[in-house]
Amino acid sequence: MTRRQPNRRDVPHMRVIRPVAWAALLTATAAAAAGFGSPASATPRAADPPYPNNVPDAGSRPQPLGTIQLPGQPPATTVPQLPSLVASGPLAARINASATEVAMLGERVLELQQQRDQAATDLALADTNLRQKRDQLAAAQRNADSAASDALKAAAALPLGTYDRDMQDLDTLRRMLTGQSTGTHPEVAGDEVERARLAEQNATAYYAAMQAKHQKLVTDAGALEKSRKTKENALRALRADNIEAVEAYEREQERAEQRLGAQYVSGESVAGMKANDKAMVAVRYALAQLGDPYVWAAEGPDSFDCSGLMWASYRAAGFRDLPRVARDQYYYSRDRSVSRSALLPGDLIFFASGSSWQTVHHVGMYIGGGKMVHAPTTGDVVKVSTVWWSRFYGATRIFPAQQATPPPTTPPATTPPPTTTPPTTKPPVVTKPPETTRPPVVEPTKPVDPPPSTDPTDDPTETPETPVTDETTNPPVDDDTEETAPPVTQEDPPATDSAATPTGTSGS
């Protein structure tokens, strides 16, 4: 027996109960809200404490000492400011701004000129390629004409029964002559003509693009160079009109830079490392150019600009991969950067007007002692100056440093030879002559024979005791007979001799 499902008409009260329950719920919620708002219950016991309006610690906040350098970013360029006497002054500020602008314009013009020269090379290559493609198209066209002529001659010699097939061949010839694809025979001359024509069209378009690019670079470089010359002439006139003030300013700036760089100056070696020998070749070349005039875009041998001097110096050391422009020189060697306190002779020092490497406008070569050799600016010469620490952007090293020679430890090294001399056993060998001392001991025995007198008996008895102690003890015991005692005290073989000598003397 199946159970009957209830019908919606059996429960009509559901539609009435739901609105009533909802109204009751709203009423209860409103009452609860009214109760919470009463003064009696201001804050629940478990409520979170309010947020303070001030910092609990009344101490001073830490101040950052510099910029944070993240991985992959260029080195920070914020350095302590120069003293007010150097950093201030309308004339000094004007000269610095003008020199920086001229230097940056010069770097930009050099880049445009390099791009212009590269575009000229690309244009020449595009022209050569276009000529080749045109020659290839002409050759393909000649091959197609020859193939069409051969096909017409072959078709004229065929019998009438092959007329239909000849019509198909004529259609193929038409496609070949017009440069269209022959469909079923892609290897025929018509396809070669089509490919050659497409290549010629691409070469023509590329040549036109290279020609337009080259022309634009020529125009841009010329306009920018004109502006650079105008500003350079203005800077030269400004310096000439205020030569005394400029010289005083430069002297003061030199002293300020020396004070600022005292903390960065190190010795000839850093952490046991010294400048590479090849880097020293570049240093010597740069120092040999002292006094040569600064000329923009000059690379030597008698005039240089800042980056041209670095470029020529390292080429003299055998390194030919260094770019020509200062900012490109930094970007090229940026993965070999060096800190201020670890500079070695030959390191390249870059100066910028901003925090980006693209604002690099000057470069010099560190020579040690906080000094650098560089070609400063228009109207100046190649000279040695204190590093511009106030405008320092970064430094890089072209050749890796090499191990410095240890301090003179050669004196300890020379001590081993003295230690080797003692082992010589020659002094002990010299002890053999002491063996020859026995003859002198025998010699005193001769004078012992002449003194037969009884007076010196005490002395001879004492003297023979010392040498005779090694031989025999019996002779000293006989003290009564002095004449027999001396011969007996001598060695046994001499004793026989002593007995013979008196007989001989008596016989004589």
The full DSSP string for 288-312 is TTTTPBB-TT-BSSS-B-HHHHHHH
Identified catalytic residue from 13, 185, 214, 374: 374
Do 135 and 322 meet the contact criterion of CB atoms below 8 Å apart?
no
Q: Note the pLDDT tens digit of each residue in 340-392.
A: 889 999 999 999 988 889 889 999 999 998 899 999 988 889 999 999 888 89
Do 299 and 292 meet the contact criterion of CB atoms below 8 Å apart?
no
pLDDT at 198 over 80: yes
Do 166 and 117 meet the contact criterion of CB atoms below 8 Å apart?
no
Highest average pLDDT, of 86-100, 153-167, 399-413, comes from 86-100
The span from the first CA to the last CA of the chain, in angstroms, equals: 182
Q: Note the pLDDT tens digit of each residue in 457-469.
A: 444 444 445 444 4
Angle, helix 189-241 to helix 90-156, in steps of 10 degrees: 170
pLDDT of amino acid 94: 86
Q: Note the pLDDT tens digit of each residue in 33-78.
A: 555 444 444 444 444 555 455 554 444 454 444 455 555 555 444 4
pLDDT of amino acid 265: 65
At 242, the pLDDT band (50, 70, 90 cuts) reads confident
User: What distance in Å separates the CA atoms of residue 111 and residue 472, rounded to the nearest whole number?
Assistant: 113
Q: Say how many C-beta atoms besides its own lie within 10 A of residue 48's C-beta.
A: 7
Name which of 310, 330, 301, 280 is nearest 373 in CA terms.
Answer: 310
Beta strands 337-338 and 360-368: pairing type? unpaired
Q: Which residues of 411-441 are buried (b: 16+ CB within 10 A; e: fewer)?
A: eeeeeeeeeeeeeeeeeeeeeeeeeeeeeee
pLDDT of amino acid 485: 45
299 class by beta-carbon count within 10 Å (0-12 exposed, 13-18 middle, 19+ buried): middle
pLDDT at 487 over 80: no
> Higher pLDDT residue, 190 or 180?
190
Do 110 and 362 meet the contact criterion of CB atoms below 8 Å apart?
no
pLDDT of amino acid 338: 93
Identified catalytic residue from 13, 185, 214, 362: 362
Could you give the 3-state DSSP secondary structure of residue 437?
coil
Do 306 and 372 meet the contact criterion of CB atoms below 8 Å apart?
no
Q: Note the pLDDT tens digit of each residue in 428-444.
A: 544 555 555 555 555 55
Q: Say whether 13 is catalytic.
A: no
Which DSSP string do the residues of 22-68 spell out, in sequence order?
Answer: HHHHHHHHHHHHHHHTSTTS-S-TTPPPPPPSS-S--SPPP---S--
At 489, the pLDDT band (50, 70, 90 cuts) reads very low
User: What distance in Å separates the CA atoms of residue 143 and residue 193, rounded to the nearest whole number?
Assistant: 8
Do 283 and 348 meet the contact criterion of CB atoms below 8 Å apart?
no
pLDDT at 101 over 90: no
Identified catalytic residue from 13, 214, 306, 361: 306
Q: Say whether 214 is catalytic.
A: no
**What's the full length of the chain, in residues?**
508
Give a three-class secondary structure readout of 142-186.
HHHHHHHHHHHHHHHCCCHHHHHHHHHHHHHHHHHHHCCCCCCCC
Q: Which helix (H) or strand (E) holds 362?
A: strand 360-368
Q: Which helix (H) or strand (E) holds 215?
A: helix 189-241
Q: Which helix (H) or strand (E) holds 95?
A: helix 90-156
pLDDT at 232 over 80: yes
At 23, the pLDDT band (50, 70, 90 cuts) reads low
Mean of per-residue pLDDT scores for the chain:
71
Ramachandran quadrant class, 296 (left: phi over 0; alpha: psi -120 to 50; beta: rest): beta
Strand partners, 364: 349
Q: How many CA atoms lie within 13 A of 66 on its CB side?
A: 10
Do 79 and 389 meet the contact criterion of CB atoms below 8 Å apart?
yes
